[in-house]
Amino acid sequence: MFDKLDEIKVLRDPIHGYVKIEYKVIWDCLGTKEFQRLRRIKQLGASFMVYHTAEHSRFSHSLGVYELSRQLVFDNQSINDYLSEYEKVCVMLAALLHDLGHGPYSHAFEAIMNTSHEEFTKMIILGNSEINQVLNSYNENLAKDVESIIAKKHKNKVLCQIVSGQLDADRMDYLLRDAYFTGTAYGEFDIARILRTLLVKDNTLCVKESGIHSVEDYIMARYHMYWQVYYHPVARSYEIMMHSLFKCYFNYLSKGNESIFKPFDDFLQGDISLQAHYQMDEATCNYGFKLLAQSSDKVLSDLATRLINRDLFKYSDIKNEHDLIAKRKEITEKGFDDKYYVLHDQANQRPYQPYHGADENFIYILSQDDNLKELSVLSPIVRALLNVEDQNDIKMYYPKS
């Protein structure tokens, strides 16, 4: 049904060895401007301010998620038997395209734009884009089907679970990739074992009980990566300062001042067109910061200069409201505007939360007596983790001098 390339394309990858591309539709998607844009978006946002080698892109992560989904749908016998060729191609496309909507510096940008990367992903796949043209040229239902898998709305639950469930190609790739590129060993787990022991039972993706130890290891990897990498306070400091800079620039424009950098104006004034989204990548952002650094507005210039030179705000824990009030007073007395110079955020993460929300949050294990059981029922380690109190990390950020 789908044309294959005359020769399989083989791309080297430090995580999976090779990324193999056999279908023409996949290769055509790679060549679109929306997919190539992902080269200019870092996978880990501001984490490179902490882990200096964490400069890998959403482009390489997306290829990695594609490759894992390809291995799952072709090399895993149970999944291979369960899916039609059309469904396999849909899953691989969903894996490849799931992060198309990401903005620069990852989630930090979503807070500024007041919209989510999921919405942009949907707009790119279904809207007036090169990606949409490629998908439509193969099958008129393809764009809609791929988007519904990414949005977890496809009627075949297994397709959604492969791309973004609890034990999915997306997370498995980013944990391994982020661990590799940060140089931390926490994110490592036995991916080959998980891929071998996954199977479909009762229209549900699950893991054979013999694979349970590798799943426990994966849950622990997630837990450690969150606290060691994803929620690292130095990266959070960079992101929250960027937020403050944009807030300051927005107020600057609102007062009737002349524009300094048009692409920022468009976004801050709510232009969420595909064209504006395409323009906004990290290269654009960094150039914009340089222009803001030359501004005659003291706060704009100072915050932008700090970001460029990694002169990041210090941080400390907020134990109660009083801490924040005291810090505001102290910083204001030093001559800073506390609106832009005393910031706070909150990070909160549980490694695995099966009983919050729908059963899509479950990891299912196929027990030796051939029944599907939720992971913590069979794993004492995961059960113990569920009882760990919610770790809430509330911090404030302010200048050293």
Contact set with Ni ion (CB under 5 A): 99, 170
Q: How far is the CB of 61 from Ni ion (least distance, A)?
A: 6
Q: Which is nearer to Ni ion, 167 or 292 (CB)?
A: 167
Q: How far is the CB of 282 from Ni ion (least distance, A)?
A: 17
Q: How far is the CB of 254 from Ni ion (least distance, A)?
A: 35
Q: Which is nearer to Ni ion, 172 or 212 (CB)?
A: 172
Q: Which is nearer to Ni ion, 57 or 139 (CB)?
A: 57
What dihedral do alpha carbons 227, 230, 235, 236 form, nearest 10°? -80
Q: How far is the CB of 146 from Ni ion (least distance, A)?
A: 15
Nearest to 34 by CA among 119, 134, 110, 176: 134
Give, in degrees to the nearest 5, the angle at Cα 395 between 392 and 400. 160
Local structure of 49: helix, strand or coil: helix
Please, what sign has the CA dihedral across residues 67, 68, 73, 77?
A: positive
84 backbone dihedrals φ, ψ, rounded to 5°: -80, 170
Q: Which is nearer to Ni ion, 170 or 239 (CB)?
A: 170
Dist. CA 197–CA 214, nearest whole Å = 9
Q: Which is nearer to Ni ion, 149 or 268 (CB)?
A: 149
Contact 68, 17 (CB under 8 A): no
Q: How far is the CB of 98 from Ni ion (least distance, A)?
A: 6
Q: How far is the CB of 159 from Ni ion (least distance, A)?
A: 16
Please, what sign has the CA dihedral across residues 250, 256, 259, 260?
A: negative
Q: Which is nearer to Ni ion, 169 or 245 (CB)?
A: 169
Dist. CA 265–CA 291, nearest whole Å = 13
Nearest to 297 by CA among 334, 262, 258: 258
